[in-house]
Amino acid sequence: MIALAKDNTIRVSILKLANVARSIVNLKASKAVNQLKFSQKRISRSVLKVLNAAIANAENNKQLDIDNLFIKEAYVGKSLTMKRFKPRAKGRASSIKKPFSKLTIIVEERKISSIKKGNK
């Protein structure tokens, strides 16, 4: 049984978001929440919101046990890009690209027997 949550407009580059998302995959949900709460990265707050939404979806919509939830997948995609211009010398302008990213987190319930002893 799986549950998921998405956010399609996170104002950060894909590489910065993927770095945080990669760090929580295959962790227990409670451990991942703690890791994101105490992270120094600014984007970890947005990832925490999506993770909490996935946990709530699992509990309320799928009736999964939140004590046995693990992060199965967390993947990042490219979203829209805001284009801005900055004035430069001699009447010219240079472009500034402000990227947005998409984040999808999938959580699954694992039974106690399928949990490895090293991942408790």
Please report whether residue 84 resides in a domain. Answer: no
Number of domains in the chain: 1
pLDDT at 111: 82
Please report whether residue 63 resides in a domain. Answer: yes
Please report whether residue 34 resides in a domain. Answer: yes
pLDDT at 116: 58
61-75 tens-digit pLDDT = 999 998 999 999 999
Please report whether residue 56 resides in a domain. Answer: yes
Q: Which of 13, 29, 120 is nearest to 77 (CA)?
A: 13
CA 81 to chain centre: 19
pLDDT at 59: 92
Please report whether residue 14 resides in a domain. Answer: yes
pLDDT at 18: 95
DSSP conformation letters of 84-95? EEEE-GGG-EEE
Whole-structure pTM value: 0.85
pLDDT at 56: 95
- Residue spans of the chain under pLDDT 50: none
H or E segment and range at residue 57 = helix 44-60
Please report whether residue 55 resides in a domain. Answer: yes
Range of the domain at 11: 2-77+103-113
The domain spanning residue 63 has which CATH number?
3.90.470.10
